[in-house]
Structure formats: C-alpha cells, structure tokens
Structure 1
Amino acid sequence: MSEPHHALAEIVRAEGTRIVATLARTLGDLQSAEDAMQEAAVRALREWPRTGVPESPRAWLIVTARRAAIDRIRRESARAGKERAGMELILPGDLPDTVVRDDQLRLIFTCCHPALSLPAQVTLTLRVLCGLDLPQIAAVLLTTESAVAKRLTRTRGKIARARIPYRVPSDEELPQRLAAVCAVIHASYTAAHSRLGGDTVRDPGATREAVRLARLVQAAMPDEVMPAAVLALILLTEARTPARLDEHGDPVILAEQDRTRWDRGLIAEGLRLLDRSLRRSGGVADPYQLQAAIAAEHARAADYRDTDWAEIVRLYDLLLSVRPDDAARLARAVAVAEAHGPAAGLSALDAMPRGPVTHRWQAVRAELLARDGHLTEAADGMRRALTPDVNAAERRYRERRIALWEQS
C-alpha cells in the first residue's frame, strides 16, 4: 500500500466516524453526510498520490466532503430555494448553550434522538459515532449481525422518511436521551474492554475514551442516578486492568490476578459513586447499579477465596429480574459454581434458554467440566470455543487449557 493510501486508511479508521458525525450535524442528514464522506475519500485516493498527503488530512476530508455536499445540492436544486437552504445547513450556525461542552459527547446526545426506539438509538450511535462494526455491535448488544444490519437499515429509513433533524438538543431535552447515551458509553467500553477478534484482549485508547465520556456525562448531570452508576461500573471494572494481562498480553483469570495491582483509587471512586447513586434511587436499583454492585463485591474481597459468591448470585438474580439476558445468565452460572460447586454451575448453564451457542458459553462450560473431573469432554468443548471471533490472546489461553487437560 502506498503512503497516501496508507495515510487515508489510517485517518478513515481513526477519525472517519467523527467526521461523518460532524457532517451530519452541519448537513442535518446522516445519509448525506455518509455520501459526502465517501466522495471525499474517493477524491483523496485520486489526488493525494499526485499532490501528497495534506498537512491536516482530517480537515482536508471535512472541507472536501462539505464541498461535495454543496455540489450535490446544486445538482439536485430542482426545487426553488433548495440550494440556498442547503448552503445554510452547511455553514455552521451557533450551537445552543448547553451543559454538554465536549464535541463528541454533544454528537452522541444529538444522535440519540427520542423519535427513534432505544435499541435504534444505541445501534445507530455505536455504528456512526463509535465506529463499531456489525460483529462488535452484535456482540455487545447480544444479538446477531443480521439483526444489527436490519435495524440500521430501518433506522436510516425512518430518519429519512420522518425528516428527523440532526440538531444539538437543549438542556431540557437531555434527560429523555440519557438512557441511550449511557447505553452507548457502556457498550463502547465493553467492546473495547473485551475485543472481538484481533491480536489483543483490549483496546486501551477506546477504553480511555469511554471512561472520559462517562466522567463528562456524570459531571454534566450530577443529580441523575444512571450516569453515576455507569461511571461506577466502568471504574470498578477498569480498576482490575493492571492485573488482567500477563507480561505477554495474555489474559489472567480473576482467581489468579494479583490484587495488589488493582487500582485502589479507581475502586474507592467507584464505590463512592455507586453509594451515591443507590441513595438517590430510593432503594430501587437499575441494571447498571446491580452490575456495579457485583463489581463492588469483587473489589471488596482481599482474596478470591474471600469473595461473597452467595451475594453475587443474589445480585445476578435481581439483575435477571429487571434485565434478562444471556451474558448475565452465563456470569450467574459461574457464580453458582463458585458458591455451590461445578456441578451446580453446569446445571445453571443447562437451564439457560436455548439460543445461539457462543464461544464464551462453550469456554465456561469447558472450565466447569474440567473442574468436575471431565477433562476429555472439557478439552473437546474448549476446541469448540476457538471460533474466528476470539482474539489471539484469548485463543492462546484456551489452547493452553486444552493442552493441560489432555496431558492430565
């Protein structure tokens, strides 16, 4: 790949979704923004090899995309006034005075339009602003790639038909968009914390961005319950990062992590936020608070053996009562195994509703089978967990487990 082509690929990978988001705000239409971005990229492929990579590739793409949009409006200006209206959209106007100052967070609130369903808001924002691909979105939303693709198509169609504007919301409009914004931030953190495919377990840059956005939402809306709970959950999870990987970048399971390496500052902050959130909710916990409470139980235990697994099972039961999903059911089965033994954990796995069998379900079942003494069956099950969407580091760990069980 030539240097100009490589530079374009890198800027599109790193900044493409933000450029589209900026264009969507100024153009007032997502499809037009995506079309303009695509045309700008085509022009870059044609011009950069001849003129060289510009000093600011991102600015070049934005300017070129806006010009492409203007040209398209001129070509389609059959209706009177359309060209003038389009020009006014492209020239940025004053943004409303709002507590949301950060450009990226402002665009997330903008994309989470209440005229769309909550799943549509989250899916669209993860794709357009967070840059997640279909497999990543499907993984964090616990659905299929085909379902994600259909949802995106329906959502874009509804936006076009209903002429839903990309307008920065006022402060009064922020609360009705908060649930979707929190879901987007938590989903983007989850996708970065446990990567799908690739060479590494996590994406440090993306996790830092999710933490940053979670802090901004909580600071902008300090009296709301949900942002504090989401930030608490993310911080309590992020606190374990220093002990989560070995010197080769391979995963270290929770039972074997050196807890002296956990970030006690993040844990203390997360516990304070969780306590504040729970006090404000009047004793009625939402899914983020319950997940944060589970993370808090792990954080409080000085040693893996000191973990209150019975309490964790109880918290998972509460979580499943308000938001039943397979990820929580799978984690609950692990907690049941710790509290009552591997046979009980296997029974909990078997009791899960029969849906698509994921590589994580296969891996958990293999570990429980090995603990229950069924090493050959465990090795066979772990081989089935070596699917293409497993990242390289986790694949190495699972292959070592298979070798260990086969030698025993």
Structure 2
Amino acid sequence: MDRSPTPIIAVVGAGFSGVMTTLNLLARSRAAKVLLFEKRAPVGLGAAYSTHNPSHKLNVRAGNMSAWPDRPDHFVTWLAGQGLDVGPGGFASRADYGRYLQAQIAEIAEGPEGLGRLVVNPDAIVGVAPSGQGWRLTTALGRRYDADAVILALGNPPPSRPQGVDEAVAASEAYIADPWRWRASELPEGSVMLIGTGLTMVDVALSLDDAQPGRPMLALSRRGLAPLRHKGAPSPCPAPPSDLSPVALITWLKHAARERGWRTAVDAVRPVTQALWRSWSSRRRQAFLRHARPFWDIHRHRLAPEVADRIDAMLASGQLVIAAGKIREMRVDADGHAICKYRARGGKTGYAFRAVRVINCTGPTGDILAASDDLVRDLVRQGLARPDPLGLGFDLDDDNRLRDATGQPSARLFAVGPSTRAAHWEIIAVPDIRGQAAAVAQTVLADLDR
C-alpha cells in the first residue's frame, strides 16, 4: 500500500496495553485513524479485568493505578465519583478497574479526540504482511485491512503445558489448560489440583472456594513459593543505582531490608527495574531468572491484605495445601478423575493426589515459538519476528520495534505489553505499561510524520 494522507494505525488487542496505546495515539494526534482489533467482547477488559468476581482484587494500591502517567489521582477520583470507598492506599476490585478502562474508551472515543478516528473491529487478526510502505492485516473472517503502522498488544498468552502432563491428560476433560477461560460453577464437586503457586493460583483458588466453599485444593510448584502480602502504607526509600549487577542488587536489597524492611526495599527498586534489566548482559539476565526470579516474584507481586487473609485462612484450615515438588506421573482414571503422583522437593518421598480437575496455573508463557496464537506463528513463519534468547517474548529494539529473523528492526511493526518482557522485564503491571503505551504512541506518530 502507498502512504495515505491520513495515517492509519492498527492496534491488535484491546486489553490494557492496547487500549492505552490507542487512547494515547488519539490524544497525541488530530489526524491519525486507529483501527482497534479485539475478538473478545467487551473491549478494554482483557483476561485481567474481565472477571466479575469481587474477590479478585488488584495487587497494586489504587493510588498507583491511574491509566495516565501525568494524572496520578485519576483512578482514585473516578472511584470516588462512582461512590466506591477506596482511597489511594486501598485495593480496588479488578472488575471495577475494567469499568474504569471502559469509561476511558467511551470518553475519548466519543469526544473530539476520537470522533470518526477510532474504528473498533470485533475480529481476530491472523496475519500481518508487508504491503508497499505499510502492512496488510488479515482477520479470522477473511477481511483485509491496510495500515501504515501496526502495534501488537497481545496480552498474556495461556501457560505452557507443564512437565508431567502428557497428551492424553491434556486432551481430557479433567485438565484445564487456560486458567482464564473456565467457570468454577460448572466444575463437579471434589478436590482440585492447581499446578503453580503464584498469583494465578490465588485467583483460581478464590474462585473455586466462592463456587464451592471448603473445596479441597492442592497447589504444587517446584519450590512451593506463594505471593506474600502488602502490609501498611509504602515508605519512601532512595532507589539503588541503576547499574548494579544481579549479585550487587541482591546485596543492596538485603542491606535495605535490614534497615527499612523488605517491602520498602523491594518497592524502592521499582523505578529503576527496567534500567537495571537493560544494563545486564544476556548472561546476567539468565542468572537472575535461574536463581532469583521465583523469590523476586513473590516479594514484588504481592497480595491485597483482604486476599491474603482469605488464603491464609484456607491454608490454616487445611482446605488449601501448597506443596513443593515435581510431577512424576499423571493419568486419568475411568471415572474421569486425574491421579497425580509427585515427588517432594529435596527428598525421595512420593505422594499421590486425586482430583476432579487439574488447572494449569503456571502463568503466561513467554516462548513465542510455542505460541498457539495464529498471528504470532504467522509472524515467525514469515521471518517478521523472532523470540528473544531467554524465551521471555519478542526480540525488540529499544523503541519496541520487532526484530525480524535477521535481527533488524521491522519498519513500523511494534509491540506493547507482556510480550515485550524480554526488553523491559517489568512490563506486566499498569504502572509500567501506561508509560510504555505513551512512549510507543509518540514513537509511532513521529515515524509517520517523517
């Protein structure tokens, strides 16, 4: 396609990263037209905020959840306007945050910034290919659209299949592969096994308990580490230098934790986390992922106190058991129950657990070569995208452009959100993505002005 006098930008995906990139494009340009593609309705929720369960809380305080970096009180003000008693230090429900995002879409799409310049397409993009100076997009329904630039906001992909779960188990009714695409109310009564012990496990455990109070659950992961809780108001603490090695960073954290408490120490790293990651070599990143990542995750991504109280009560009663171990064998009996045999970490003791369902709660995969998404597979097949060396997502340049199979940045093909974790590491929470969305919008518009 030739360059249009009215630049057309396609945004693929309408979770938080896609919506905020779209809104920044519309707010920063009075000329560009944005095509927003999302196969799931309603727009703006994604997997994170489509839940209707009030037990599912944000794990970041409301005061740091504004969608707009330059308006830090925006979300708290919106909550107050809705009659919701959640102050800056409180934790809103994820459903309320979804409504907040949809309000942002409606305000801008129907206002002067977006009137006639935002087109929402309820369809999935399955192919993107070069076309002249731009791109041609193909949808699942066979429609084709031309765009001058494409921004991929693909959100969190489903988890990979864990070791020990073979094809037969994966194909059975006893196994739930996607923890964000199921209904707790539709499960038969009985014990449930959760593979993984992170934030996804917490959400699933709460949903299971809401649907059937007292339902027995076993959560299993290699180390058996679960997220810790928020406690008290955040305290100010100077950030560490942004060029520390992983070992030096751990040393700094230990010292700061002794002086000010571990929560304050971990929170102090947040402003420089991306700079630290960018300063590390691939070898240093790999060492951090191998040795420190599980401990970083449980300290960094914490639970709202109300959620932590419920999980603690479930643990104390024995309803929920968190175990460290490795699956040795899993099979499905004739009655449809899954039987999991696992070995405890650090020993030879073997255990067995019988469950009506096994739910994969290991968290989103970063391996784009194992992706089930048709678009990602098509991009890799064409050589328009490649995985990063550590398997965290797309390989990108510093401006979030996808690198092709030869390592060259692709012209006007960008990514935002969790699929860019290889370049930024911390890019799954609102405070990180909102800044990236604004930066990518600015870069894309600057490219189109040249």
Instruction: Select the structure with the greater relative contact order (CA < 8 A; seq sep ≥ 6).
Output: 2
Q: Tell me which protein shows more helix as a share of its residues.
A: 1
Q: Which has the larger radius of gyration?
A: 1
Please indicate, yes or no, whether the TM-score normalized by the shorter chain is above 0.5.
no
TM-score after normalising by structure 2: 0.25
